[in-house]
């Protein structure tokens, strides 16, 4: 058994409780199917919990850190943060400005040379413009500020 699996089980039970609380507010006839699925998820999670306990008694408990071997928090979280900030910024200033900023900052952070950053950003924006704006006719977000 891995310690990290406790989190998986906890998450699944939390999902069951959240959906059950919402289901109970629905009309009677509309409750049956979601309750069936929630029960299925809860039953499978309980089955896995039993497997975990049996496994723990037989083979002991491991930390589960092997799943995160080579994980670099100092690289992963800033990059994840940049992606989230990119989405927020895009909402306000639009696609092109936010994308240029995101590409430059993330590539600088990943220690890519300035010439490669320039080429990558231009090529990517060209691909997006040709494929989505010209070919599909999609007006990419202009941002709240410029509306």
Partner 1 sequence: MTGTLALMGAGFINALSLMNIIAMAAGVTIGIVIGCLPGLSAAMGVALLLPLTFTMEPSTGLIVLGAIYCGAIFGGSISAILIHTPGTPASAATAIEGYQLTLQGKAGKALGVSSVSSFFGGLLSCISLYFFAPILAKLAMKFGSPEYFWLSFFGLTIIAGVSSKSMVKGLISGALGLLISTIGMDPMMGVKRFMFGQSSLYEGINVTCALIGLFSMSQALILAEKKIKERKHATKFSDKMLPTGSEMKMLAPTIGRSWIIGNLIGLLPGAGASIACFLGYNTARQFSNHKEDFGHGAIEGVAGSEAANNAVTGGSLIPMLTLGIPGESVTAVLMGGLIIQGLTPGPDLFIGETAKMTYTFFAGFVLIQFLMLGIGLLGCRGFAQISRLSDAILIPAVSVLCVVGSFAIHKNFVDVVIMMIFGVLGYLIRKFDLNNAAVVLALILGPIGEKGLRRSLALSDGHIGILFSTPVCWVLIILCILGILSPIFMNKMEANALEKAGGDMPNETGDDPVLSSD
The residue whose two tokens read 């092997």 is 66
137 is a contact residue toward partner 1 (CB under 8 A): yes
Q: What is the 3-state secondary structure (H, E, C) of 95-114?
A: HHHHHHHHHHHHHHHCCCCH
> Site map for partner 1, 109-128, x if CB under 8 A?
-xxx---x---x---x---x
Beta strands in the chain (DSSP E): none
The residue whose two tokens read 């699925």 is 37
Q: How many residues bind partner 1 (CB under 8 A)?
A: 61
The residue whose two tokens read 């299925």 is 40
65 is a contact residue toward partner 1 (CB under 8 A): no
59 is a contact residue toward partner 1 (CB under 8 A): no
Can you tell me whether residue 2 is helix, strand or coil?
A: strand
Can you tell me whether residue 24 is helix, strand or coil?
A: coil
Contact residues: partner 1, CB under 8 A: 4-5, 7-8, 12, 15, 19, 22-23, 26-27, 29-30, 33-34, 37-38, 40-41, 44-45, 47-48, 51, 67-68, 70-72, 75-76, 79-80, 83-84, 86-87, 90-91, 95, 99, 102-103, 106-107, 110-112, 116, 120, 124, 128, 131-132, 135-141
């Amino acid at each position: 058994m891995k310690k990290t699996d406790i989190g998986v089980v906890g998450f699944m039970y939390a999902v069951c409780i959240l959906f059950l609380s919402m289901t109970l507010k629905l009309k009677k006839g509309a409750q049956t199917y979601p309750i069936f699925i929630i029960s299925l998820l809860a039953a499978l999670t309980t089955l896995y919990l039993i497997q975990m306990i049996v496994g723990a008694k037989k083979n002991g408990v491991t930390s589960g850190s092997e799943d995160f071997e080579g994980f670099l928090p100092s690289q992963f979280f800033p990059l994840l943060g940049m992606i989230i900030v990119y989405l927020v910024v895009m909402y306000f200033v639009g696609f092109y400005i936010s994308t240029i900023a995101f590409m430059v900052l993330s590539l600088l952070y990943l220690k890519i040379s300035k010439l490669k950053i320039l080429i990558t950003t231009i090529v990517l924006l060209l691909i997006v413009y040709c494929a989505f704006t010209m070919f599909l006719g999609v007006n990419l977000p202009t941002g709240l500020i410029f509306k």
